[in-house]
Structure 1
Amino acid sequence: MKQTIWLIALMFLSFTSLAQEKIIVQGTFPNIFIQHKVAPSETLYSIGRLYNFSASQLARQNNMQENDVLSVYKILKIPLNKNNFTQDGQSGENEVLIPLHHIVLQGETLFRISQNFGKIRIDFLREWNDLNNDVIKTDQRIVIGHLKVDKKNASIVAERIINENSKNNVTAQQENTDEQPTKKQEVKQTETKVTEEETTPIPITNGNDDEGFFVSNYIVNNENLAIKTGTAATFKSTSGWTDRKYYVLINDIAPGTIVRLTADNNRSICAKVLGALPEMKENKNLLLRVSNAGAAVLGISEKNFPVKVSYPK
């Protein structure tokens, strides 16, 4: 009973916050969308389940491949259609409705907004926005429909959907994460992708004892260290080239764990676990994938290479 009350309270707080931090619809009807901030270990499959979309549909919307690995803080477009969007205020038994807003442009009227967003009933617009008449102001936030979310996913969506207050912060974070080296313009700002590397990573000139940004978070206690050895490959990432933040995809180690990777040449880096290896044939015999910047610091140029991983038990 206490657990049920806690869950209800948590959901209430989440959606009270969302009511204050308005979610703005992007695009032009009917091709409208909202945005989702990727969290560690999320995939197109898990995100698709939150919004009633298949991984292939989300991949097409975001110019990606279905099995691409998502970089943390990446912003994904979530299309709005009959699967997850309603303009009649009706929800299913296990659904909650999250209001979605349009920012009133200069000269727009309530009638014009109604027409521009699929001929919404004017009385619905008045009801959703507590309007006593049809007078609206430039820059006013007007509810034009609702996102339909399964109750069990409500708190996750509330945390990761982009609203007015989070958008600028996330954009700044993403720009910092995607910063590129001035002398390595060939490292393109693309989504992180689990594919075989077609290009050889360019080694970075670092001291042998520079293991990267996460070295200070690595827990060194030989009695409590677990060690795995196996074959590694790389994945493309814009992170690490300037900020020295290296990432790995590996099974059976919790996301967020800091691990140490050691190559046969005795070079090592400390990297953060993003999540598990996606289930695909390219990963069948792999222990892990490391971001290409990390592989460069290890002095690796081969497509596949042996590696030792040490991490806290």
Structure 2
Amino acid sequence: MKKIFLLLFTCALFLNVSLFAQNVKYTLHTLAQGETLSMLAEKYKTTVGDIMRLNGMHADTKLAVGQKIKIPASGQTVVRGGTTKEVPPVPTKAKPPVVKDSPPLTQTPAATTKSKSLSKELTHIVEPKETMYSISKKYGITVEQLQKWNYKKDNNLETGEVLAVSVDGIPDAIAKRKTMEESKAIAAVPDQTPPLIVNEPVNVDKTATEKSAADISAKENKAVEEKKPAAYIITEQKQRPTINAAADGSDNFFAKNFGDQASGRSTANKSGTAMIFKTASGWSDKKYYILMNDAPSGSIVKISAPNGNIVYAKVLWKLDDMKENKGLQFRISEAAAAALNVQDDKFPLTIQYYQ
């Protein structure tokens, strides 16, 4: 009889707790990558303790991406057993969380860094030794978001690189990257200086001058006297500097990145006429650049010359539709042309790239 009574009491207690739990007002939230209970508590205007009690969590509970979490409504305090009670808004109780989440300016540098990570920054310039992970933590985002917003297939970074750290920062980051690339490699407009015109006397046939005046008709004399010096353009063929680079391009700076783009993509080839543009880059670091319209900006392409030489170059941006580029398909940096050992002003090239 005592066992039956104890069983009935336990069932009644469980039913009572269940009925209380059903009265809890909550929002069902699906946990995303990088989210924490603190972030959810701040987002839904509740506390970490109330979330944990409503979901039966404890200190050792581990969260998983995609997990469904019950978030109590703002203003409800969850007590043990899953029940809630309405808590009227009291100014003195609402104040402490605001002070805790908004540290004064005189706090430690660590607190200042945390505050900055929640700011609405649009772009970030990569500092030495920074990684995708450290930057994502600094701005409260995920590595996957950082890769997506900056069109990256891996986690490789370069010091000074401009990254978008929010969706709104993508156009700003692209514009800043283009400005920085222009400072490194300036597309040269062909020299518009008028050609030097030099007038020199015409060399008259000596046999004609040695003839006696009697043998030359008056008409011939007049023609010789009135003949004006011919003008011609002085053209000077300058030898392009050479670079001690491997003929197959294996020692180029961007050679190692060409294969990184191969996953799930096919190669395409484009042949056409090219000229150079002036740049200070490439002569010592072997960083070569190209302007073209077929391959996307920032991608690495393989450039082949008719003499069999090869270089690997990075696409800066598209070839502008301007008079100086008429009839051209590419412009490559002067250092790239030197590495290919091409000497003509205009020369044919074949470009291989991934699409």
Superposition TM-score, scaled by structure 1 size = 0.40
Superposition TM-score, scaled by structure 2 size = 0.36
- Larger helix proportion of the pair: 2
Larger radius of gyration: 2
- Larger strand proportion of the pair: 1
